[in-house]
Structure 1
């Protein structure tokens, strides 16, 4: 039976806000929002439930009435470096809070629970073969560990209840207003500063915001998505240099790439304590998305090259218009 009502958590985030806008354009179901703050603006046509902090003890009953599908995006992505109990904080927000919500959702008769996990569950980089759903999980950070623990609990819950589970592990999600490292890269490309990535010959799978939103939306009702894990991407991999060139093209400028030796880049990153940044910019992370394409018949609606160029163009327009 088709889902008539969706409960969305994390609706104010980068991906969540785009997904909310997408879902509101569809007439097949209504959307409810679960918020942690009473100061969140209520979107027209949406029910909003202010439940306070999401944790292992949160009472979700007020928000679950009549809900057919929960899309859970809320969680903790960052912890201050001085926090000694970082893993515990991640576990509370990303594992225990998720399983508390899912358990109550199953008890309320929710048909499907979609959990937005992370490609970090598979690992930080690939060497010979791309990650796939059959790859052995190898989370190397506290955040990814907590996401994997949530996944394990959800799949166990699906075996003992009538609620099915869909787990989605996206890689880096990009757009002109993306946060984090992609925003830093946009700023660097826009500045025109020469960037030392001319010799970087890596391959990275990413996903445009529009494509991820489309895939999540497809999973709400698709019968073949039940109790599956999906790795998603645009289906086209870029080197860091290619990414910079496409962003620069969108900004109407020439990419400033310097052929800096990789060994010196690696040494500099170690000396500065930025090995993680080096891995992201110079290492490879490839994803095999054939399962999503074959099982669900999914094709990304936006071509990767066009999406990357548009990200640069829209970022430039924001800067020029500010």
Structure 2
């Protein structure tokens, strides 16, 4: 089966990896629709905004498959109305045009943030309790896509993928910032380090999106996690070992003290308008358990890259080898 794919938000981190996979598949005809130019595939991009019905109508064709990666997701988005305009309004616009163009397949990347600070082992049936606007608006978008699918349930396919924190080469998000601190020798552990974190390697996420193109009509909701889940202590020790550094963690900052420091940075940011890599919410996220389960195994999907090898590849690319000509992607 062949696919004509509109990759909405495809100029970003996941979209670039996904486009690369599609390039090697003769069954795929792919165009990127994004408000930003693609640094990797500029010749394949149409500039447009999901907030514009006209832009979407001009670029979505009859029978296209839509993969929606577009989102406002940073902790420091301003104004806050952008979360609703892009994540919720964008979903409404995509569904409007999908109805007009006879689209019967949409893949939507949501987030585990819909669960908030979830109990360990939360799966796809977990309680929805987002703690921020990003998680709230992503869940609202899910409901909009589900309403679209329910209008023709035996004909339309909706895949909702909720990844945990995604990392990989060329990404400048929270995982990279942690790895960079460890590599520089300036890392300080906040809290006991026994909290566990689920992670997802970008190539595996892209591979699952490609795999999900084969799903039959219906609603398919999956968390995306690469196992096993590291404790922060295990993660830091593993990274130091890969870098050839002493595996001792050293001085630890109590959580209460670290959180107070984060609050101080919040105040300075509010007064000056500057962005800082330290904030109270980031300290809280760092010290929280973030462990999820997934039903993906039941689909037959096998991640192409084991998690430990993914971590090794990322560390080698970022801190050992020289890749100065590669584009970078900045995210949370």
Match of 2:312 in 1: 309
Instruction: Give the CA deviation at 1:256.
Output: 4.7
Q: Is 1:153 matched with 2:156?
A: no
Q: Is 1:18 matched with 2:17?
A: yes
Match of 2:303 in 1: 300
Measured in 2, the distance between the counterparts of 1:183 and 1:73 equals 21
Matched ranges for 1:79-228 at <5 A: 80=76, 83=78, 85-86=79-80, 88-123=81-116, 125-127=117-119, 129-161=120-152, 162-196=155-189, 199-223=192-216, 226-228=218-220
Give the direction of change, closer, same or farther, for the CA distance of 1:34–1:239 in structure 2 (3 Å limit): same
Aligned length: 308
| Contact 1:266 1:278 (8 Å CA) reproduced | no
Measured in 1, the distance between the counterparts of 2:232 and 2:32 equals 37
CA-based RMSD of the aligned residues comes to: 2.5
Instruction: Give the CA deviation at 1:12.
Output: 1.5
Q: Structure 2: state its 5+ residue gaps.
A: 264-278, 326-332
Q: Kindly provide the CA deviation profile for residues 158-196 of structure 1, in whole angstroms up to 9, marking residues without a partner as x.
A: 111443211111010011322221121121011022522
Larger CA deviation: 19-28 vs 63-72? 63-72
Match of 2:46 in 1: 49
Measured in 1, the distance between the counterparts of 2:135 and 2:191 equals 31
Q: Structure 1: state its 5+ residue gaps.
A: none
Describe the SS at the equivalent of 1:34. Answer: strand
| Contact 1:190 1:316 (8 Å CA) reproduced | yes
Match of 2:32 in 1: 33
Instruction: Give the CA deviation at 1:19.
Output: 0.8
Describe the SS at the equivalent of 2:281. Answer: helix
Measured in 1, the distance between the counterparts of 2:221 and 2:251 equals 39
Instruction: Give the CA deviation at 1:216.
Output: 0.8
